[in-house]
Amino acid sequence: MSGTAPGSGPARKVGLVTGAGSGIGRAAALEFARSGAAVAVLDIDESTADETTEMIRKGGGEALTVAVDIADERSVRAAVERTVTAYGGLDFAVNNAGMASHHRQLDRMTADEFERAVHVNLTGTFLCMKYELPLLRGGGAIVNIASNGGLYAIPHAPAYVAAKHGIVGLTKAAAVDYAPDNIRVNAVCPGPTRTPGFEKVAAGTDMVAGQEAITPLGRLATPGEAAAAAVWLCSDAASYVTVIAMSVDGGRRA
């Protein structure tokens, strides 16, 4: 394989992105398509996924909407199989879909709230990997979108932080187990990123100013900046990069 972009080189690459109807997932799907890859646009919200698919097609790219609930094993299995049936293979997958959890301290959280956040974020990522890994072609790559909360604590987000740390652990475990198959597995850990999901949580609060104040680069990320790391990690330019959890957080980790 050659070239630096997932879709460059002799054969068209095929990939899927979960949560591709919004935010970081949509930005990643658009960038993969620009690089020439065929992209399956997976989301629980079929109408926003369709919007992403239309954006890609209008730009001359190849895309397909596939409805999925990453928290449901049968749905994940069917979505991954649909992608492979439609495009004849799978070269990369970005497991990006996730949910914010309730903003409160641990003792104020119910066990149901905790389990739901862990189920969607962590088990959902596990389910995607479970059905993607056996179908990935050699040279393939998985990128899981974790969070800065996968590397250090975010106040008042115990379930989210636990789940995102779990995603980083799952990434490392799979990377070691599937390296002999020439499959790379990495995570991207974005800091606060101005996506529709983030704007909903931040609305009516001083979150943006507060986050900017503690970020060395002095601003929040755009969805494209977080997505660019995932696109690079899936590309042949990252062919010797595996088992990393890449911060895209404007320097916050320092």
Ligand X SMILES: NC(=O)c1ccc[n+]([C@@H]2O[C@H](COP(=O)([O-])OP(=O)(O)OC[C@H]3O[C@@H](n4cnc5c(N)ncnc54)[C@H](O)[C@@H]3O)[C@@H](O)[C@H]2O)c1
In the complex, the smallest distance separating the C-beta of residue 182 from ligand X, rounded to whole angstroms, is 27
31 binds ligand X (CB under 6 A): no
Instruction: Tell me which of 24, 157, 170, 187 binds ligand X, using CB under 6 A.
Output: 24
14 binds ligand X (CB under 6 A): no
Q: At CA 59, angle to CA 54 and CA 62, rounded to 5?
A: 65
Sole window of 40-48, 54-62, 110-118, 234-242 interacting with ligand X (rule: CB under 6 A): 40-48
Q: Which of 15, 19 has the CB closer to ligand X?
A: 19
In the complex, the smallest distance separating the C-beta of residue 47 from ligand X, rounded to whole angstroms, is 10
In the complex, the smallest distance separating the C-beta of residue 3 from ligand X, rounded to whole angstroms, is 27
Rounded CA-CA distance 183/167 in Å is 17
Q: Which of 11, 103 has the CB closer to ligand X?
A: 103
CB 6 within 8 A of CB 92: yes
Instruction: Tell me which of 25, 61, 158, 250 binds ligand X, using CB under 6 A.
Output: 25
197 binds ligand X (CB under 6 A): yes
In the complex, the smallest distance separating the C-beta of residue 105 from ligand X, rounded to whole angstroms, is 20
Site for ligand X in 172-191 (CB under 6 A): 190
Which one of the listed residues 87, 131, 152, 160 is annotated catalytic?
Answer: 160
| 152 is known as an active-site residue | no
Rounded CA-CA distance 104/6 in Å is 40
126 binds ligand X (CB under 6 A): no
Q: Please give the positions annotated as active site.
A: 160
Give the residues lining the site for ligand X (CB under 6 A): 18-19, 21-25, 43-45, 48, 68-71, 96-99, 120, 124, 145, 147, 190, 192-193, 195-198
